[in-house]
Amino acid sequence: MAKVLHVNDRRAARAGRTAPLRIAAGTLEALKWLGVVLMTLDHVNKYLLAGASPVLFDLGRLVMPVFGFVLMYHLARPGAFAAGMHARIMRRLLIFGALATPMFSALVGWWPLNILFMLLLSTGIIWLIERGGRMHTALAVLSFVLAGAVVEFWWFGVLSCLGAWAYCRRPTAGRLALWTMSLASLWLVNRNFAALAALPLLMAATLVDLPLTRHRWLFYAFYPAHLAGLWLAVKLTS
């Protein structure tokens, strides 16, 4: 895979295009672990501490941009679409999003659908874009408009994922500006600009190579499991 990436980088350079963003696999894994820790702290603060800690709340606004970036990085890799990665990821997100729904609904309510469905929608839109053609483009726009209204973080979360995907494919100044604006739009959800703090963190991640092993299914399974634990804790303390 590393040789393929180097070949693609050289081809992009010869064509006068910016090569795709590159981050070490272990560093991506570290970002996911950071997301898990911050998500857990944020949810403990929200459901068990009634939002008593503004610091934990602000740190929690980094979670979605970090997880979204890691997913979008994988989808933006050369050959990902041809290898069927989008379809495999959509199946996983659908399964674990559905498993998380009962506990998420008990804690939050039936609307919106949890973050895994937002990531599912973002992946589906990218899949349609990758397929190309007017019909798929129209379906992508329709999916964004309609389904964006029923997922967590709404259209703004989807925009932040699409911005990350576009930047990972071609890390140019213009695409970075669009990604930054999409993250800034999360103010409408979070009522602060804390999500922008993910940018320097993710940029720094491109500079380090951390020796961590990938755990593909752990992060999918952790989401419904930790919601179940929180629901139980709420019931025991209420």
| Residues 7-29 pLDDT 10s | 444 444 444 468 999 999 999 99
Give the amino acid at 223: Y
According to DSSP H, which parts of the chain are helical?
A: 2-14, 25-47, 54-60, 63-76, 85-107, 115-131, 134-147, 154-169, 173-184, 187-190, 198-205, 218-237
Comparing C-alpha atoms, which of 69, 75, 113 is closest to residue 94? Answer: 113
Dist CA 100 CA 95 (whole Å): 9
Dist CA 108 CA 78 (whole Å): 38
pTM, two decimals, is 0.92
Which pLDDT belongs to residue 14?
44
Give, for all 238 residues of the chain, the pLDDT tens digit.
334 344 444 444 444 468 999 999 999 999 999 999 999 999 999 999 999 999 999 999 999 999 999 999 999 999 999 999 999 999 999 999 999 999 999 999 999 999 999 999 999 999 999 999 999 999 999 999 999 999 999 999 999 999 999 999 999 999 999 999 999 999 999 999 999 999 999 999 999 999 999 888 999 999 999 999 999 999 999 8
What are 73-107's pLDDT values in tens digits?
999 999 999 999 999 999 999 999 999 999 999 99
